[in-house]
Copies of this chain bind each other. A is one copy, B any other.
Amino acid sequence: MKFNDFKTEALVTVENSCRQLFMTNRTRFKIKNEELAVKNYEILTNVTLKLCKEKGFQAMSIRDLSKESGLSLGALYYYFSGKDEIVHFLHEQGHRFIQDILTKKTAGIKNPALKLEMAIRSHIFLSEVAPDWFFFFFMETKNLANDMRTIPVLSEIWVEQFFIDILAEGKKANVFSYDNSSLIGAAIKSLLQDWYLKRWRYMQRGITVEQYADFVISIIESYIKPVKKKK
């Protein structure tokens, strides 16, 4: 799988994510015009992510959001009930996002090693397609009130479990050998996260997404593959 192919495929999802948001919450929302809603939610999503990347969610004011989006202060409150709800929407969309891609991309792959590779590659590529989104997802979780943290925490655990399950399949099929799947799952997650948390470092060094994905795959495989070769 090449990154560019992945990108063209995945972009559709980004656009439609806001429509899905609207459909799901249709009754609760003040705006009723679907096309308008989708268009503006898309703008708001992008602007929010951009501003949060620059200064963080707490420091981003509704006034900033208004200025950058072109919508007035009053109009904004037609799209959400308050600042907190923006975070909630973004988290909701982000979670669905990752879940969809990982399951879709690995569906039907029988060979555990190939499945693991595909899962790792998809996750890294996805975070390259929407880096701000992932950055937000990670950074704007830690300091939230407890009830706002449920989605990110569930998502975190879901992804980790997704990898642990693949590891288990591989062990069963005698393709992998290890005795601490939860640590390996955590390590995979950590390496996936590094790509979007330290993007600037990798850019600085001219490392491409594809190189990074290959590297993560090789380091994990070298740890879990039963040693057979001789040098």
Report A's interface with B, CB cutoff 8 A: 54-56, 58-59, 139, 142-143, 156, 160, 180, 182-184, 186-187, 189-191, 193-194, 198, 201-202, 205, 207, 211-212, 215-216, 218-219, 222-223, 226-231
Contacts and interface: CB of A to CB of B under 8 A. Distances in A.
Number of copies: 2
Contacts of A218: 223
A223 B223 contact: yes
Contact of A187 (B56, B59, B156, B191): B191
Contact of A198 (B186, B191, B215, B223): B186
A32 B231 CA distance: 66
Nearest to A231: B227
A142 B139 contact: yes
A223 B219 contact: yes
B186 A201 contact: yes
Contacts of A156: 201
Nearest to A160: B201
Given A215-B180, A227-B229, A55 B143 contact: yes
B56 A142 contact: yes
Nearest to A193: B190
Contact of A59 (B143, B160, B222): B143
Contacts of A139: 139, 142-143
A219 B182 CA distance: 14
A189 B59 CA distance: 28
Contacts of A211: 183
A186 B182 contact: no
A201 B184 CA distance: 13
A186 B201 CA distance: 9
B205 A194 contact: no
Contacts of A227: 227, 229-231
Contacts of A222: 222-223
A184 B194 CA distance: 12
A59 to B, nearest CB: 5
A46 to B, nearest CB: 18
A229 to B, nearest CB: 6
Contacts of A180: 215
